[in-house]
Amino acid sequence: MGVNLKGRSFLTLKDYSKEEIEYLIDLAIDLKDKKKKGIFERHLEHKNVALIFEKPSTRTRCSFTIGCIDEGAHPEYLGKNDIQLGHKETVEDTARVLGRMFDGIEFRGFSQDTVEKLAKYSGVPVWNGLTDEDHPTQVLADFMTMKEKFGRIAGLRFVFIGDGRNNMANALMIGSAKMGVDFVIAAPKELWPDEKLVELCKEYAKESGAKIEIFDDPKAAVKDADVIYTDVWASMGEEAKLAERAAVLRPYQVNEELFAATGKDSTVFMHCLPAVRGYEVTNEVIEGPMSVVFDEAENRMHTIKAVMVATLGD
């Protein structure tokens, strides 16, 4: 049986199987190749797509916008001051109104509950463009980049360093557990991921053959890493905590000394961006030959396009 994602929402990778995730990544690789050759198949002709952003965005917003236009759809940006969502109107009512007008809805904001309600009440595919808890489209781009660099995803050793309980740590742990990636978090104990999520991912890992490990010693964690990944120390909405975070996360900065501790010369550096140089990563690492951060950024567009084509395309 082939994979068919028509009509599905994309809220978290918890809802997707290994085969479905692999399908989306391979579709993105195909769409990337076609775009480079100037081939546009316009799978989303006459579709209208709402892009709701409660939080700012460069990559995600541009990826949805360009993905729509390349495929013949109309994207409509709805910023936090443009619509009534959550202020003058309930999420449920806004969802039902948008569902009558639009064929698909992207949501970036604070609460995972909001994106789930939008999906439940709109009746059209809803795509999670980041919440406090999750960032599933980023993981597709990251895994696509790994497939391009290493020729495979399963079996790689992936080390996430920094705020081990933010949306990226969560999403990468879910994705790794589903895909058979050996996933390591290196973080101070107070920033370790939610125990329930770790248990859930360990369940997924039983099926895929992935391993999930949590360290507080960054040097021990990076040994044999194929990928070292980090993210900002204070996520959107947590800016007031930056000084406190910097105090505990300073030993977890990804710098050349930490990179050398992998014991491998093939390790790549990944970051979802935007990055704060001098905090979670040094300029030498993010600008170094091991850095693939701009491939990841480009792949956001191809993978987001793949999600829209797979769930909404003709």
Active site residue: 8, 43, 108, 302, which one? 108
Q: Which of 138, 142, 226, 245 is catalytic?
A: 138
Count of residues binding ligand CP (CB under 6 A)? 9
Stretch that binds ligand CP, among 158-166, 222-230, 253-261, 271-279 (CB under 6 A): 271-279
Q: Are 187 and 164 in contact (CB under 8 A)?
A: yes
Handedness of CA 172, 178, 179, 185 (dihedral sign): positive
Please identify which residue in 145, 167, 176, 282 interacts with ligand NVA, judged by CB under 6 A.
Answer: 167
Which residue in the set 272, 275, 285, 304 belongs to the binding site for ligand NVA (CB under 6 A)?
272
**Residue 236 Cβ vs ligand NVA, minimum distance, rounded to whole Å:** 4
The Cα 147–Cα 71 span in angstroms is 24
Q: Which is nearer to ligand CP, 60 or 267 (CB)?
A: 60
The single residue of 134, 142, 163, 231 carrying the catalytic annotation is 231
Burial of 243 (0-12, 13-18, 19+ CB in 10 A): exposed
17's contact among ligand NVA, ligand CP, none, with CB below 5 to 8 A by partner kind, is none
The β-bridge relationship of strands 157-161 and 227-230 is parallel
Interface with ligand NVA (CB under 6 A): 130, 166-168, 231-232, 235-236, 272
Residues marked active site are found at 108, 135, 138, 231, 272, 300
Interface with ligand CP (CB under 6 A): 57-60, 130, 138, 272-274
